């Protein structure tokens, strides 16, 4: 809430008192002296002509210029202050940054971080009223800008409804998927079979793609600013790489990555998705008048594309614990069949890491909870609560070890065997505590001339991927300097082709987990 502005009326009354003391018979010399004094008085900020930051229009005062920014260019300084937590110095840097780089209002509005924070933008340049304005005085018009309590309640209700819908869609997707698996196993391969599950089973994939037709999952992904803004930056900050190239967007969903590629200068973009959401994406493309993007409904493995080969393949394929959903299979297929020689894939590389974790409260809520549920012993469910890893944003304060990279996937060379790996780890304890879980997370890298990346580490900004928590059944007390040695093994699940079986052998015991 903005503090109430308090004005000092004393300074406004002093000129009136001085005027009353001037004799009526003052000479012309005295008048001239008074004029000089008036000129020496500080000029009211609102009296100076001010040139717009984005066009050549000149306003009679900075207040009018600020209104012009809002009305003409949709740039609201108060909103900028809130978005980037700006102070007076930040605004001075912003003004000098705009003047030096001649950015447009659209570029400023699309910024996700304050690019003007370099101290060089505090260096004095040519004087203009923008540099002298007190931006702490920015205030809202209570009737038009400051939302009312009713409006805030409506916004909360709308967001709650969206969140509820997202949760329902995610739960429906999980149930549909499990029901399909049960049907496949009932009608097909015996559960005891040791044969590997064939990839790209059409009936299985149909249900998988159907789960992505729900609105909620796309709202969750698009509202993940870390995810979406990093993909946008990888393209828009590397326009020289994208300009004039053909781009294949695998699993295009709502088409947002295809649109980013078009904005970055791609000559042609083809997006493919087997989910019904692609029909909505087609409408989005038409509504936004993106003429060089073509979207196709179908499975990549069964579809003839408009062009056989592409310069760039882009996809957001990562799942929980990076590898869940096994969508990387489709990226490997696209690379082998649709990537031009010397073409690139975005993202370029992903790494998977593991660390020791000890949050007693979380352990009590998720594991020990089953010992007494309304005075009923449900400890039989304790084992299941451990076998199924928890997907949750964890508190970095309970990280007890340094993280260690357990897998590194170069997307240009990775093969279909990628889910199957083993890593011997040695985790160095950084502070004392009780190890009650191991936490997995991944980093995603776009290795380009202007490289970008994001991390799902507990130390990073949370994403919709969260972290993967592997609880242990016998927490161990550790002290700083200890080294926790063990082995983690990952392999493709024998029954759920998009799931993972993970074993962690540590503290003298092997624990089995299923990521589904």
Would you please indicate which residues are annotated as catalytic (active-site) residues? Answer: 316, 325
Buried b (16+ CB within 10 A) or exposed e, 142-176: eeeeeeeeeeeeeeeeeeeeeeeebeebeeebeee
Is residue 293 classed as helix, strand or coil in its secondary structure? strand
Question: 510: which 2 tokens?
Answer: 């092997």
Please, are residues 382 and 345 in contact by the beta-carbon 8 Å criterion? no
DSSP H helices, 22-104, are 28-40, 62-73, 77-84, 88-101
Spatial separation of the C-alpha atoms in residues 443 and 224, rounded to whole Å = 15
Residue 294 sits at the vertex; the CA angle it makes with 209 and 305, to the nearest 5 degrees, is 70
Is residue 228 classed as helix, strand or coil in its secondary structure? helix
Question: 453: which 2 tokens?
Answer: 């990346």
Please, are residues 309 and 340 in contact by the beta-carbon 8 Å criterion? yes
Spatial separation of the C-alpha atoms in residues 127 and 125, rounded to whole Å = 6
Spatial separation of the C-alpha atoms in residues 312 and 296, rounded to whole Å = 17
The one-character DSSP state at 507 is: T
Could you tell me how far CA 392 lies from the centroid of its own chain?
Answer: 16
**Nearest residue to 187 via CA among 204, 163, 208, 169:** 204
Please, are residues 172 and 217 in contact by the beta-carbon 8 Å criterion? no
Spatial separation of the C-alpha atoms in residues 257 and 254, rounded to whole Å = 8
Which residue in this structure is represented by tokens 């995810």? 227
**Nearest residue to 411 via CA among 336, 467, 354, 300:** 336
Is residue 490 classed as helix, strand or coil in its secondary structure? strand
């Amino acid at each position: 809430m903005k503090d109430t502005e308090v004005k000092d009326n004393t300074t406004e009354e002093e000129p009136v008192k001085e005027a009353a003391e001037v004799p009526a018979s003052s000479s012309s010399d005295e008048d001239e002296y008074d004029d000089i004094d008036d000129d020496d008085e500080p000029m009211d900020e609102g009296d100076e002509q001010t040139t717009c930051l984005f066009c050549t229009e000149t306003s009679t005062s900075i207040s009018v210029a600020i209104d012009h920014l809002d009305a003409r260019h949709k740039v609201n300084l108060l909103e900028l202050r809130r978005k980037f937590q700006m102070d007076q110095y930040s605004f001075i840097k912003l003004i000098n940054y705009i003047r030096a780089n001649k950015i447009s209002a659209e570029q400023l509005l699309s910024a996700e971080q304050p690019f003007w924070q370099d101290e060089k933008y505090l260096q004095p340049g040519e004087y203009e009223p923008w540099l002298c304005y007190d931006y702490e005085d920015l205030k809202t018009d209570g009737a038009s800008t400051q939302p009312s309590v009713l409006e805030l309640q409506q916004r909360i209700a709308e967001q709650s409804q969206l969140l509820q819908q997202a949760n329902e869609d995610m739960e429906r997707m999980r149930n549909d998927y499990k029901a399909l698996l049960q049907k496949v196993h009932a009608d097909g391969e015996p559960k005891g079979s040791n044969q590997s599950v064939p990839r790209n089973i059409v009936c299985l994939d149909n249900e998988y793609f159907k789960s992505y037709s729900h609105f909620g999952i796309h709202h969750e992904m698009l509202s993940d600013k870390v995810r979406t803004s990093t993909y946008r930056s990888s393209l828009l900050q590397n326009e020289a790489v994208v300009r004039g190239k053909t781009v294949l967007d695998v699993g295009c969903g709502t088409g947002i990555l295809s649109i980013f590629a078009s904005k970055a200068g791609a000559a042609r973009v083809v997006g493919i998705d087997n989910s019904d959401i692609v029909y909505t994406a087609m409408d989005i493309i038409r509504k936004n008048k993106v003429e060089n993007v073509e979207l196709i409904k179908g499975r990549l493995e069964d579809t003839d594309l408009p062009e056989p080969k592409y310069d760039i393949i882009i996809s957001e394929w990562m799942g929980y614990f990076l590898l869940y959903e096994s969508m990387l299979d489709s990226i490997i297929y696209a690379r082998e069949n649709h990537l031009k020689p010397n073409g690139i894939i975005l993202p370029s590389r992903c790494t998977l890491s593991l660390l020791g974790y000890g949050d007693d409260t979380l352990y009590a809520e998720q594991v020990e909870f089953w010992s007494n549920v309304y005075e009923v012993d449900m400890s039989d469910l304790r084992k299941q609560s451990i076998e199924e890893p928890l997907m949750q944003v964890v508190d970095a304060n309970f990280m007890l070890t340094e993280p260690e990279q357990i897998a590194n996937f170069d997307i240009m060379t990775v093969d279909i065997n990628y889910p199957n790996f083993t890593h011997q780890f040695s985790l160095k304890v950084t502070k004392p505590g009780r190890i009650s879980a191991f936490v997995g997370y991944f980093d995603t890298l776009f290795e380009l001339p202007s490289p970008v990346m994001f991390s799902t580490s507990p130390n990073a900004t949370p994403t919709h991927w969260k972290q993967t928590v592997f609880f242990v059944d016998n927490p161990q007390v550790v002290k700083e300097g200890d080294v926790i040695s063990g082995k983690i093994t990952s392999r493709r699940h024998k029954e759920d082709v998009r799931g993972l079986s993970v074993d962690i052998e540590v503290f003298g015991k092997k624990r089995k987990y299923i990521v589904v």
